[in-house]
Structure 1
């Protein structure tokens, strides 16, 4: 018997003859104080995320590529890391087409070891989707996939995140229940409230030390 199996067997034997303690967990304790009218969720999210230097823009499901183009131009960003096989990756690719003034669209289509230097040193911005957001804490939910690996949201200095307004929920419990997290989770589920920041011993706040310096959220209203 392996060490792991031996430990588990001892734990099971220790429970013999015992009675489980009734589960008196009160869901209202983590939901009732953090519930909002649907029309208030965006305002609540904006208030909390802007307080930690996140930039938010309201747009539509058809109009966001035009807004993205303007934001890239305003920041003089010449290239953008995308997931070209996703619906939003295809949409932004179609928007820019083969225009001479379009930014270079990069695809995360190879192992990081094959282009680590370019990813870390010559990729100024990325675009990813989100799984939704939590109004009570002002947090985005990032769910890395094979198409959108975790490094897409962590390495480039500027991170553009697409968020559907219809996927903003009141609190974390509501997200877990409605999206059935108990049925399966990824190796990394990220809750992100703002750009990367840290402070030294003198409490001087610095942005971008361990991740994106700028987080820009495009909220796609249902139109």
Structure 2
């Protein structure tokens, strides 16, 4: 019998009965009680404090807001998916604007140079956000691979205002991660940043130098 099996055997034959897990109190990581407007305000305050940019728009006009962002920032080559409703709507809105749309739903080996050298921005949907930390959370797919938000110098993320939750624990609970945890969830709290030994903060060293969040409200936001 192996050492592992010996240990398990002794645990099973404990004289004082089987082991039971202690009760856990998760009150410290949930139960904030914030209302909708306070959640949005907290999210925006935290993500803009680290150079994230939030643009309020409506569900009906978000694609026009996207076009304005591309024009203001001089973006002419945008990488994005095709199947997700956000990508499909963006493609329709940008079709006549002279923006080159780079398909992201390909094997990386077939468009590696385009992604690392030609794409000026990447557009992604989001699954939601966390008010407590000012973080977006994404669940990459074949249509919207993780590199879409990690490689281009500008990341444009589309976030529905109704999907902002209080804490990370609330996200895990409400989306039943215990029953099917994503294998590649991304938490994004601003553009890429790092600091050297002298504590000089620099942006865009290991990823996008800019993060733009298009915050879609059911009605026109503030």
Normalising by the residue count of structure 1, what TM-score does the alignment of the two structures yield?
0.91
Which of 41-50 and 84-93 deviates more? 84-93
Are 1:193 and 2:189 counterparts?
yes
Asked whether the 8 Å contact 1:144–1:186 carries over to 2, the reply is no
Match of 2:148 in 1: 152
CA, structure 1 residues 161+10, in 2 after alignment: closer, same or farther (shift >3 Å)? farther
Match of 1:168 among 139, 164, 181: 164
Match of 2:11 in 1: 15
Are 1:133 and 2:129 counterparts?
yes
Match of 2:204 in 1: 208
Asked whether the 8 Å contact 1:50–1:56 carries over to 2, the reply is yes
Are 1:118 and 2:114 counterparts?
yes
CA, structure 1 residues 125+7, in 2 after alignment: closer, same or farther (shift >3 Å)? farther
Cα distance in structure 2, aligned partners of 1:170 and 1:11: 42
Are 1:104 and 2:103 counterparts?
no
Asked whether the 8 Å contact 2:105–2:145 carries over to 1, the reply is no
What SS is found at the alignment partner of 2:30? helix
Asked whether the 8 Å contact 2:105–2:142 carries over to 1, the reply is no
Runs of 4+ in structure 1 displaced over 4 angstroms?
none
Cα deviation, residue 92, structure 1: 1.0
RMSD, aligned CA: 1.7
Cα distance in structure 2, aligned partners of 1:191 and 1:222: 24
Are 1:221 and 2:217 counterparts?
yes
> Unaligned 5+ residue runs, structure 2?
none
CA distances 1:22-62 after superposition (whole Å, capped 9, x unpaired): 42211212113x33122211100001001000000111112
Asked whether the 8 Å contact 2:131–2:167 carries over to 1, the reply is yes
Match of 2:30 in 1: 31
